[in-house]
């Protein structure tokens, strides 16, 4: 016959293993919670970083357009301060260097720090932008050094316009490459969150349910223990009473005197 006491104890051990107050369960729950929080923080930080890189990379297009417009104004005889053109070129080159190798760069009214570009595709796209920018600067110098009237320097103007168009197209491509990679990263991070958050909630719910069941098992065990103690106490009392009756019966049987037992109606119930 199976030992139901041992079976009940084994069942209680299985329930108790899910208790939320178990330090091993708490460590596991805290680890998953910390991972969930870390992924959330990293997701927010990565989104802010991606937006900054896209803003700086996209600004290169604006700087190219600005440089092109200023050169056209100069060739048409309009006055443009030399510092303006040099400032545009310097900002483009500083931003390109920061995007490629990391470093500080101005963004609006503040200076931000960019990390080194880690993606191979993005670095290749930036390399192409850099080569195109070098061609654009060469075409710019050639056009500006051509002292013939604008109507007579069409080849230099065409070379400059073509270099400007290539730089704009390659800048757009670099931005698209980074946006595609940023979208893929965001998707992966959201997928991790979609796994970790439900997992943490499921673990918490499992721990709470296990704790409730374990407490119910504790109460049941306490009631069973008290009942077993009362049964044992009553059994001991009955055993002692039975021994006394047996002793009395033995005394009556072995006595030489006549011993008669009567009930409350004075009827004889036993004798020796």
Per-residue pLDDT reduced to its tens digit, 211-268 = 788 788 888 888 888 888 999 999 999 998 888 878 777 777 776 666 777 777 777 7
In percent, the amount of the chain with pLDDT more than 90 equals: 22
In percent, the amount of the chain with pLDDT more than 70 equals: 81
- In this predicted structure, what is the pLDDT of residue 172? 93
What is the model's pTM?
0.65
H/E element, 269: strand 268-271
Separation of alpha carbons 57 and 119, rounded Å? 14
> Is the model more confident about 54 or about 150?
54
Tabulate helix, strand, coil % of the chain (nearest 5).
Answer: 80, 5, 15
H/E element, 34: helix 23-75
User: Could you give the angle at the alpha carbon of 104 between the alpha carbons of 102 and 105, nearest 5°?
Assistant: 110
- Per residue in 90-105, pLDDT (tens digit) is 888 899 999 999 888 8
Tell me the average pLDDT across 170-199. 92
* CB-facing half-sphere around the CA of 131: CA atoms within 13 A: 6
Separation of alpha carbons 157 and 75, rounded Å? 9
Q: Is the pLDDT of residue 1 over 50?
A: no
> Is the model more confident about 247 or about 169?
169
Q: Is the pLDDT of residue 13 over 50?
A: no
């Amino acid at each position: 016959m199976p030992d139901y006491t041992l079976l009940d104890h084994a069942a209680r051990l299985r329930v108790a293993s899910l208790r939320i107050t178990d330090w091993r369960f708490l460590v596991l729950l805290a680890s998953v919670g910390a991972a969930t929080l870390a992924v959330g923080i990293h997701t927010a930080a990565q989104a802010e970083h991606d937006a900054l890189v896209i803003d700086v990379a996209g600004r290169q297009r604006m700087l190219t357009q600005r440089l092109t417009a200023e050169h056209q104004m100069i060739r048409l005889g309009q006055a443009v301060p030399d510092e303006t053109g040099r400032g545009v070129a310097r900002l483009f080159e500083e931003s390109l260097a920061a995007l490629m190798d990391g470093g500080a760069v101005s963004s609006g009214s503040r200076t931000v720090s960019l990390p080194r570009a880690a993606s191979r595709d993005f670095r290749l796209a930036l390399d192409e932008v850099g080569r195109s920018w070098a061609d654009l600067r060469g075409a710019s110098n050639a056009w500006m050094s051509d002292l013939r009237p604008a109507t007579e320097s069409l080849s230099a103007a065409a070379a400059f316009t073509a270099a400007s168009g290539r730089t704009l197209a390659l800048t757009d491509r670099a931005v698209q490459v980074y946006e595609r990679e940023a979208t893929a990263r965001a998707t992966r991070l959201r997928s991790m969150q979609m796994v970790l958050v439900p997992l943490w909630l499921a673990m918490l719910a499992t721990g709470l349910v296990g704790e409730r069941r374990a407490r119910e098992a504790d109460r049941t065990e306490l009631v069973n223990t008290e009942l077993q103690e009362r049964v044992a106490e009553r059994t001991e009392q009955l055993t002692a009473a039975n021994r006394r009756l047996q002793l009395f019966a033995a005394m009556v049987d072995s006595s030489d005197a006549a011993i008669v037992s009567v009930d409350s109606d004075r009827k004889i119930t036993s004798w020796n």
